[in-house]
Chains A and B, each alone.
Chain A
Amino acid sequence: MPEPSGQPKAKVLLRSGEWALLAAIVIAVILTALVDANHSYWFRPLESLRDIARNTALLGIFALGATVVIIAGGIDLSAGSMIALSGTVAAATMVALAPAAMLGFKPVGPVIVAVACLASLLVGFLVGTLHAWLITAVRLPPFIATLATLVGLRSFARALCESTTAAFTPTKSALINVSDPLFKAVRDNVWIPVAVFGLLAFATWLILTRTVLGRHVHALGGNEQAARLAGIRTENVKWFAYCFGAMTAALAGLFYVANESVAAPVNQGRGHELNAIAAAVVGGCSLTGGVGTVPGTVLGAIFLRVVIDAVSKIIKTGADVYEGLIVGIVVVIAVTFSQVGQLAQGGRRLLPGPLGLCAIPTLALLCGAVVAMTANGPAGLASGLAALVFLAVVRAWESRGARAPRPS
C-alpha cells in the first residue's frame, strides 16, 4: 500500500490496511450467511470452513512464494506451470519406481512417496535457479523469463508424463492417477495442508522480518542499484527469492495432486499464478518491489477464497461463470480502496477530461449488464441508470471545484 511521503513509519498504515482486510473478510462472510437462501454458513459452518480453509491453504502456500518474489522486486508468472510440473514429477517418480502399484491403485510405500516429494522439491529448486540465472546472468527481464517458463514448464511436464507412462505402463497417457493412502490422508484431513501453510507462513514471516537475508530482500526490491552499492550480493538474494517462489509452488503442486488424486499437467493449476499475485497485491504488496507483508498475503488469500465461496453460495447454479468477473471487480476495489484517501486529499480527479467522460457510460453499462445477467432485465436497467446518475454527479462535483475565472 503506497504511503504519502513525510508520514511517520509505515507500520501504522500497514496495520490499518490489514485490519480493513480482516473487516472485509468478516463482512463478506456475514453477507453470504444472510443472502444465501440455504444459509449454509449457519447450518453447516464446519463444512464450508473446511472447504475454504483447504482452498486458502492451497492458494496460500504458493502465494507466500509470490510475495517473496514481489518484495524482491521481481515477478513470477510460471507458478501455475510449476505446480503442474511438480505434481507430474512426483507422480512420474512413483510410476517409475513402482509401476504395478500405481496402476493397480495400491499403496507404493512411504519411502517411495518421500522420494517422489523430494524429487518435486528438487525440481522446484532447479527451476528457481534457472529463473535466477536467466534474470541475473542473461539479463532477461523477469516478466520475459517467467513468461517463457510459464509455457515451457507445462509442455515439459506433459512430455514427461507421456514418456514416463509410455516407458513404464502399457499405454501412453496424459495423466497419472495417484491413489496412495498418504496422499489420500492429505486429501481427507484438511488440517494437514492448513498446518503446513501455517508453518510456512510463520517461517516466511520470520525470514522476511527477522533475518539479515529478509532485510536484504526488502532492500533489493526497494532500490536494486543502491543495494548493490551497499555491498549486498544482489544475484544471491534474487536466487533465494526465485527458488523460494518455485519451491513453494512445487510444494503446492504436491497438495494439488493429493487434492485431485491425479497429476494432470494439461490443465492443472492453469492460470493460478494470477490468483497468487492477486492475493499478494490485495494483501498490500507493491509490484514495484520493496513493500509487502506475510500477514497481508495470508489475509489476501483468505479474502479471495471467501469471496469465491460467497459467489458459489449466493449464485448457486452456474456460479463459476461469474466467478472471474466478481473476483476481478473485488481485486480492483480492494487495491483502489487504499488509495481513495490519497485521491480525496491530493486533488486528483477520478473522472478527468474526455477519458473520464467516456468512462462513465462504460462503468454504468458494465454495472447494468452484470445485474441484468445475474438478476433480471429491469433490475439491470435500473442499476445501470443509477450508476450513470451517480457517476455523473461525481464528475459534476469534481468539475465544480476546479472552475476558475477565465482571462478576459
Chain B
Amino acid sequence: MTATRFFALLGAIVVLCGCAKSDPQSAPGAAADAGMKRFVFVTNGDDPFWDACNAGLVEGAKRCGLEAQGLRVVMEKNNGTAQGQIEKLRQFGSQSDIAGVAISVIQADNVAIVEEMKSLAAKGVKVITVDGDVNRNTFRDARPFYIGTDNVVGGRLLGAAAKAILAARGKTNGSYVQFAGFTDNDNARARMNGFKETLGTAYTEVDRMSDEMDLAKARDNVRTALVNHPDLTALVGIWAYNAPAIAEVVQERGVRDRLTVVTFDAQAAAIERMAAGQIDAMVVQNPFEMGIRTVRLLTAMHTGDEATIAEMFPHRTAPEGDLHTTGLRLIVPDTDARVQPTDIEMQGFEYLPLTKFRAWLASYGLSSS
C-alpha cells in the first residue's frame, strides 16, 4: 500500500476514536440476558492472603446460592501496579457480563482508578472496595461501600500489644522500623499511623520501608534496617508476607533476643514462625470473612435486596456509615505470651492463643488468614 492510503486509514481511525469519546450507556436490556454474569474480585497483588479471601468468596457463593441466580464469582490477581488495575477495570467496561466488581485499591490517591470505578458504576456495574480503600477524604463518592478491616484500629491494636510486650521485657523507650509493600497504600498507611499513634512518643519510628511486593526485597529491607540502625528495639511487619521475611532475617542474624517482632496477618509461614517462638504477636484480619461478606453485599446490591444492605450498613447516612468492618484478632504464642488481654484497653477484638487459632483455620480448611 502507498503511504498516502495508509495515512488516510490512520486518519479514519482517529475520527472514529473521536466519536467513541463519550462512554455509551449500555442499554440494560442488552446486558441482562447475556447469560451467566460475573462478580469479579480484583486484588492489589499476588499474596497468599488473597487465597484465604478466595476461599471466602467460594463459601459466600455457596451460601448465597449464586449459581441458581445465574451468577458466579471469580478473583483476578493484579500484578502489583496501578496500571494493572486500571487496565483490568477498562477491560471490564468493554465486557457485558460483569455484574459487580470488588477491588482492593492499590494506590489510595490514584485518580485514574477512581475514574474507571465511576465509569463502571455508570454502566450499571456494582462497585465496592474491599480491604484497600480509596482516599475517603477526597474520593468518597467513588464507591458506596467498603468492606474490610478498620486498619487504623488494627494498627492501634498492634501498637498496644507491642507496648505491652516491650514493657514486659523491661523496655520503656527505643526505636522501630515498619515494613510494608507500598507506603502510600491506604491500608498500609492506616496501620502504620495507628501503630505509631498508640505506641506513643517514647518510641521513635526510624523508617518505613517499602518493598513493592518483591519478596527478596522484603528480606533485604530488614537486613538493611538492622545494619543501618544497630540498636533497634522492634520490627513491625505491615503486610502478610513481611512477617516471615522479618522472622527469617532476625533468625539469620541471631538477634531475636533483643528485638520484638510484631506483625499483621497470618501467612502459613508466619504461623510456623510463631510456633517456633520467632514472632511475639500477630494482629490477624479475617480475609475469609471478607470474602463471604463481599459476595453477600454484591448479590444484595445486584438483586436490589435493601434489607440485607441495611443489615450490613445500618447507619448509612452517618459519616462512617459506608464502612463495614470485619473482625480483628490478636494471636499470641501458646507459651511465654508477654501480653494478656487485660493489658490492652481496646474493644472489639478477639484474643487467641496460637493453637486455638489453628483449630479455627482447620475448621474451614484454611492454611492462612
Contact = CB atoms under 8 A, between A and B. Distances in A.
- In the complex they form, whether A and B have CB atoms below 8 Å apart is answered with yes
Given A49-B17, A173-B184, A320 B79 contact: yes
B326 interface: no
B112 A260 contact: yes
A261 B112 contact: yes
A49 B96 contact: no
A48 B94 contact: yes
Contacts of A268: 81, 83
A37 to B, nearest CB: 7
Contacts of A178: 111
Interface in B1-36: 1, 3, 6-7, 10-11, 13-21, 23-24, 26, 30, 34-35
A223 interface: no
Contacts of B107: 175, 262, 264
B97 A38 contact: yes
A175 B112 CA distance: 14
Contact of A191 (B18, B82, B210, B212): B18
Contact of B16 (A49, A201, A266, A298): A49
A355 B66 CA distance: 53
Given A47-B93, A174-B182, A317 B16 contact: no
Interface in A148-205: 173-175, 177-179, 184, 187-191, 194-195, 198, 201-202, 205
Interface in A275-294: 294
A267 interface: yes
Contact of B184 (A47, A174, A189, A205): A174
A317 B76 contact: yes
Interface residues of B, number: 54
B17 A194 contact: yes
A40 B81 contact: no
A317 B23 CA distance: 23
A260 B11 CA distance: 26
B369 interface: no
Contact of A260 (B20, B40, B110): B110
Contact of B14 (A198, A260, A262, A264): A198
B110 A177 contact: yes
A289 B109 CA distance: 44
Interface in B73-129: 74-77, 79-84, 86, 90-91, 93-97, 107, 109-113, 115
B242 to A, nearest CB: 17
B342 interface: no
Interface string B268-287: 00000000000000000000
B303 interface: no
B1 A51 contact: no
A43 interface: yes
Nearest to A317: B74
A76 interface: no
Contact of B10 (A40, A267, A298, A320): A298
B201 interface: no
A349 interface: no
Given A49-B20, A174-B182, A188-B115, 8 more contacts: A43-B30, A44-B26, A47-B24, A49-B16, A175-B107, A256-B83, A267-B81, A320-B79
Interface of B: 1, 3, 6-7, 10-11, 13-21, 23-24, 26, 30, 34-35, 38, 40, 74-77, 79-84, 86, 90-91, 93-97, 107, 109-113, 115, 138, 182-184, 210, 212
21 contacts: A43-B34, A46-B24, A50-B20, A51-B90, A105-B109, A173-B184, A178-B111, A189-B21, A190-B17, A198-B14, A205-B7, A209-B3, A256-B83, A259-B86, A259-B112, A260-B83, A264-B82, A295-B1, A317-B38, A317-B75, A320-B84
The 8 A-B residue pairs whose C-beta atoms are closest, nearest first, are: A261-B112, A261-B111, A191-B18, A47-B94, A46-B20, A50-B20, A191-B17, A317-B74
